């Protein structure tokens, strides 16, 4: 959960799937190296490409692929993930059936985890037993100091009651790992869920309060008591929410980089319990902390030192139980599903049990599962097969930078240096977490918490890394994840094995198709190094301004055009995209398709007749084919830095001159046609 959240903050990934899980309900996104069934596209000629290119390409597929009852959406990513789930299922059930004495430790751990997750009888019988020590500690809180300390105890035992606390590269000095603190403590996706006043949002707020009440009843409170306590807890969450940064504010690295020494922290926010927090067993020595949202600590300071302890106990107890609910007995799990999946995302049925356990195992034991997955399902030639494509794309990007007319030579030189220094990681890591010291038992929720606590110290964002040199081999996604990312603080692009397969990449497909699909993804991630956030970091990942005044103004002017373009796209009636929240992704999408197109041309030779070479754009459009539930779309518009899939296609191609050359039937008067002066030109 923690790593997923942080991916939202700093790391820019290709898609929200496997990336954003602010409420702790998600999991990894595994996939198989065995190609999933590959329906290519059937164009709908009755929808003119100039009116809606996305639907022109994807309409037939959309008609044939309704959303399954247990999903919030269906698309390329979910289909790849389904196949991977089956492979991971096979891998985990085999481990579960292996004789303990004849298996290696890794297999034994996977087997033990999976068995515990499938033993619903034991899970139901266990009730809240796994939380009993923590609930007793909450009960025993007798002072403000106790309160602060217990929040840390919960944190080190695998929960995240008030904030996220991790080890991360210091973006003021990228040779070191320091402690970082990110706002938390909410049961709904973000602060704005507590403050919106439209009817839908008010209904969600009411449904959430009802959810709190039901969880309290399940945990043993009387109906009347639970109703009163739910009001108290909701009010506390709302107070914390008001102190938080918005999603847009969280995109500004200058605002979210605030490194304090311990002395400064203690002086400014004395009630947080810094001594206890910085001495979590297994943590490296903490001398400073980056506080992403200082305003949130102002609120927390005030609440910890003034809100009634009795209210705090209610709040902590609820937060702990709610966070653990997906791994508790059926009634808790069903209530968790009812709010987080049904109400927030419109899903009508739970995933089958085995899938839920596979997803949890994948997210908690990513490297353990990943190592076996790679050995079994990933073609060892994958790395070599795509490397040439990566090279061509990088060279093309470099050449385009050199030719930009809007950028001066000094900034160009720095940009090209940064691109040359960008590292790439392909398919799977060279080194794996070994999970030494992780002890699992027969208790499912106990195992999830143990793995989560283990990751707090030893994971990619582990506190054990603080004070040590930065490890260049760390991956923040497992190889079985259908996604990719750019990490600005290490200036690297990362492509897990699971995305290096059809329909993204097929060694037997022609270049147009591979460049239109995977090529656009590769160039998308490279462009993140030069989007409105990424451009603020230098080639070594430090937050450092390498732009001239003039070039900065040029860049901002060009991106403003994208902001206003996307602000005009309406995802649902009355619900437009947020052009500022999605700006970084939209820049990356535009750069991605543009650069991939030219890389393809340089690999395939100049087009003799562009009209006969439409595959590139079709390949790009079909990657984003999707059917999604309205509730999920709404949730994404509010929280996801990526634009809705339709606009990842329509918002991009109509800015690209070569798109018009390839589709000369698109003419002024068509719904999405843009005059040259209205087309955004950045990279």
Helix (H, G, I), strand (E, B) or coil at 293: coil
Q: Please report whether residue 8 would count as binding Zn ion according to CB under 5 A.
A: no
Judging by DSSP bridges, how do beta strands 485-487 and 492-496 pair with one another? antiparallel
CB atoms within 10 A of CB 608: 7
Between residues 494 and 619, which has the closer beta carbon with respect to Zn ion?
494
**Shortest Cβ 12–Zn ion spacing (Å):** 4
Between residues 15 and 118, which has the closer beta carbon with respect to Zn ion?
15
Q: What's the rounded Cα separation, in Å, for the pair 442 and 202?
A: 42
Q: What's the rounded Cα separation, in Å, for the pair 447 and 443?
A: 6
Q: Which pair of structure tokens corresponds to residue 507?
A: 């060694």
**Shortest Cβ 485–Zn ion spacing (Å):** 7
**Shortest Cβ 584–Zn ion spacing (Å):** 7
Helix (H, G, I), strand (E, B) or coil at 137: helix
Between residues 168 and 585, which has the closer beta carbon with respect to Zn ion?
585
Between residues 368 and 623, which has the closer beta carbon with respect to Zn ion?
623
**Shortest Cβ 139–Zn ion spacing (Å):** 45
Q: Using alpha carbons only, how large is the chain's radius of gyration in Å?
A: 25
Between residues 211 and 528, which has the closer beta carbon with respect to Zn ion?
528
Between residues 12 and 401, which has the closer beta carbon with respect to Zn ion?
12
Residues touching Zn ion, count (CB under 5 A):
3
Contact pattern from residue 374 through residue 413 relative to Zn ion, giving x for each residue in contact according to CB under 5 A and a dash for the rest: ----------------------------------------
Q: What's the rounded Cα separation, in Å, for the pair 325 and 546?
A: 47
CB atoms within 10 A of CB 676: 8
Q: Which of residues 337-366 bind Zn ion (CB under 5 A)?
A: none
| Residues forming beta bridges with residue 100, ordered by sequence position | none
Query: Where are the strands (E) in 155-250, listed by range?
Result: 163-169, 177-183
| Residues forming beta bridges with residue 570, ordered by sequence position | 576
Between residues 4 and 118, which has the closer beta carbon with respect to Zn ion?
4
**Shortest Cβ 80–Zn ion spacing (Å):** 17
Q: Please report whether residue 588 would count as binding Zn ion according to CB under 5 A.
A: yes
Q: What's the rounded Cα separation, in Å, for the pair 482 and 447?
A: 25
Between residues 134 and 525, which has the closer beta carbon with respect to Zn ion?
525
**Shortest Cβ 419–Zn ion spacing (Å):** 17
Q: Please report whether residue 12 would count as binding Zn ion according to CB under 5 A.
A: yes
Segment contacting Zn ion by CB under 5 A, of 7-15, 288-296, 463-471, 555-563: 7-15
**Shortest Cβ 655–Zn ion spacing (Å):** 17
| Residues forming beta bridges with residue 75, ordered by sequence position | 626
| Residues forming beta bridges with residue 495, ordered by sequence position | 426
Q: Please report whether residue 300 would count as binding Zn ion according to CB under 5 A.
A: no
Segment contacting Zn ion by CB under 5 A, of 260-268, 421-429, 579-587, 606-614: 579-587
What DSSP state is assigned to residue 191?
G
CB atoms within 10 A of CB 4: 20
Between residues 585 and 615, which has the closer beta carbon with respect to Zn ion?
585
Q: What's the rounded Cα separation, in Å, for the pair 443 and 111?
A: 13
Q: What's the rounded Cα separation, in Å, for the pair 238 and 191?
A: 8
Q: Provide the CB-side half-sphere exposure for 496 (13 A, CA).
A: 33
Q: What's the rounded Cα separation, in Å, for the pair 621 and 645?
A: 9
Between residues 12 and 652, which has the closer beta carbon with respect to Zn ion?
12
**Shortest Cβ 519–Zn ion spacing (Å):** 15
Between residues 426 and 438, which has the closer beta carbon with respect to Zn ion?
426
- With a CB cutoff of 8 Å and minimum separation 6, the contacts of 388 are none
Q: Provide the CB-side half-sphere exposure for 179 (13 A, CA).
A: 25
**Shortest Cβ 507–Zn ion spacing (Å):** 25
Between residues 244 and 250, which has the closer beta carbon with respect to Zn ion?
250
Segment contacting Zn ion by CB under 5 A, of 39-47, 240-248, 416-424, 580-588: 580-588
**Shortest Cβ 241–Zn ion spacing (Å):** 27
**Shortest Cβ 487–Zn ion spacing (Å):** 11
Segment contacting Zn ion by CB under 5 A, of 10-18, 179-187, 384-392, 550-558: 10-18
Segment contacting Zn ion by CB under 5 A, of 67-75, 336-344, 383-391, 578-586: 578-586
Q: Provide the CB-side half-sphere exposure for 142 (13 A, CA).
A: 1
Q: What's the rounded Cα separation, in Å, for the pair 348 and 200?
A: 18
Q: How far out from the chain centre does Cα 509 lie?
A: 29
**Shortest Cβ 19–Zn ion spacing (Å):** 9
Task: Please check whether residue 417 is in contact with residue 539, taking contact to mean a CB–CB distance below 8 angstroms.
Answer: yes
End-to-end CA distance of the chain: 34
Contact pattern from residue 71 through residue 90 relative to Zn ion, giving x for each residue in contact according to CB under 5 A and a dash for the rest: --------------------
Segment contacting Zn ion by CB under 5 A, of 8-16, 42-50, 183-191, 347-355: 8-16
**Shortest Cβ 29–Zn ion spacing (Å):** 15
| Residues forming beta bridges with residue 469, ordered by sequence position | 176
Segment contacting Zn ion by CB under 5 A, of 461-469, 539-547, 582-590, 604-612: 582-590
**Shortest Cβ 595–Zn ion spacing (Å):** 14
Q: Specify whether the backbone of 308 is left (phi greater than 0), alpha (psi in -120 to 50) or beta.
A: beta
Task: Please check whether residue 453 is in contact with residue 156, taking contact to mean a CB–CB distance below 8 angstroms.
Answer: yes
Between residues 392 and 582, which has the closer beta carbon with respect to Zn ion?
582
Between residues 12 and 457, which has the closer beta carbon with respect to Zn ion?
12
Segment contacting Zn ion by CB under 5 A, of 12-20, 70-78, 489-497, 498-506: 12-20
Q: Please report whether residue 593 would count as binding Zn ion according to CB under 5 A.
A: no
Q: What's the rounded Cα separation, in Å, for the pair 452 and 366?
A: 11
For binding to Zn ion (CB under 5 A), which residues are involved? 12, 585, 588
């Amino acid at each position: 959960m923690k790593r997923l959240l942080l991916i939202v903050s700093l790391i820019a990934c290709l898609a929200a799937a496997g990336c954003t899980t602010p409420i702790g309900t998600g999991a990894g996104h595994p996939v198989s190296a065995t190609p999933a069934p590959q329906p290519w596209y059937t164009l709908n000629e009755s929808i003119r490409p100039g009116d809606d290119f996305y639907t022109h390409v994807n309409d037939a597929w959309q008609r044939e692929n309704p959303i399954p009852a247990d999903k919030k959406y269906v698309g390329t990513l979910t289909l790849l993930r389904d196949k991977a789930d089956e492979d991971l299922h096979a891998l985990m059930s085999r481990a579960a059936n292996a004789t303990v004495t004849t298996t290696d430790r890794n297999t034994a751990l996977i087997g033990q985890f999976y068995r515990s997750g499938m033993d619903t009888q034991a899970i139901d019988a266990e009730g809240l037993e796994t939380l009993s020590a923590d609930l007793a500690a909450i009960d025993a809180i007798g002072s403000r100091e106790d309160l602060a300390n217990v929040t840390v105890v919960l944190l080190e035992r695998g929960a995240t009651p008030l904030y996220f606390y991790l080890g991360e590269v210091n973006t003021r000095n990228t040779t070191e790992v320091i402690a970082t603190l990110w706002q938390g403590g909410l049961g709904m996706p973000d602060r704005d869920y507590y403050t919106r006043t439209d009817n839908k949002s008010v209904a969600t707020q009411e449904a959430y309060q009802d959810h709190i009440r039901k969880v309290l009843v399940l945990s043993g409170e009387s109906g009347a008591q639970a109703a009163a306590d739910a009001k108290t807890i909701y009010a506390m969450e709302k107070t914390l929410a008001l102190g938080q940064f918005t999603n847009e504010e969280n995109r500004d690295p200058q605002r979210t980089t605030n490194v304090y020494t311990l002395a400064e922290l203690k002086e400014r926010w004395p009630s947080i319990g810094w001594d206890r927090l910085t001495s979590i067993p297994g943590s490296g020595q903490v001398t400073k902390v980056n506080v992403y949202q200082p305003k949130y600590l102002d609120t927390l300071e005030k609440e910890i030192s003034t809100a009634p302890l009795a209210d705090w106990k209610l709040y902590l107890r609820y937060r702990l139980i709610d966070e653990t609910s997906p791994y508790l007995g059926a009634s808790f799990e069903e209530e968790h599903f009812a709010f987080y999946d049904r109400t927030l995302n419109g899903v009508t049925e739970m995933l089958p049990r085995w899938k839920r356990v596979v997803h949890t195992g994948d997210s908690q034991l990513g490297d353990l599962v990943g190592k076996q997955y790679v050995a079994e399902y990933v073609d060892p030639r994958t790395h070599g097969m795509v490397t040439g494509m990566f090279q061509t794309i990088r060279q093309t990007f470099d050449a385009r930078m050199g030719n930009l007319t809007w950028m001066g030579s000094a900034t160009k030189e720095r940009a090209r240096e940064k691109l040359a220094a960008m590292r790439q990681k392909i398919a799977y890591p060279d080194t794996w977490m070994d999970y030494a010291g992780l002890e699992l038992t027969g208790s499912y929720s106990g195992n999830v918490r143990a793995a989560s606590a283990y990751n707090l110290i030893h994971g990619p964002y582990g506190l054990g890394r603080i004070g040590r040199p930065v490890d260049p081999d760390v991956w923040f996604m497992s190889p079985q994840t259908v996604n990719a990312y750019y990490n600005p603080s290490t200036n690297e692009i990362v492509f897990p094995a699971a995305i290096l397969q059809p329909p993204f990449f097929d060694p037997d497909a022609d270049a147009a198709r591979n460049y239109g699909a995977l090529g656009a993804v590769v160039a998308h991630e490279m462009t993140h190094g030069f989007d409105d956030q990424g451009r603020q970091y230098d080639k070594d990942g430090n937050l450092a301004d390498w732009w001239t005044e003039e070039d900065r103004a040029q860049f901002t002017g060009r991106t403003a055009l994208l902001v206003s373009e996307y602000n005009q796209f309406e995802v649902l009636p009355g619900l437009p995209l947020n052009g500022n929240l999605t700006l970084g992704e939209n820049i990356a999408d535009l750069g991605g398709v543009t650069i991939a197109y030219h890389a393809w041309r340089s690999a395939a030779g100049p087009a003799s007749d562009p009209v006969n070479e439409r595959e590139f754009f079709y390949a790009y459009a079909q990657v984003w084919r999707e059917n999604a539930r309205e509730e999920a779309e709404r949730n994404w518009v509010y929280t996801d830095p990526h634009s809705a899939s339709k606009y990842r296609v329509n918002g991009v191609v109509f800015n690209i001159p070569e798109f018009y050359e390839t589709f000369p039937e698109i003419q002024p008067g068509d719904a999405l046609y843009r005059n040259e002066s209205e087309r955004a030109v950045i990279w």
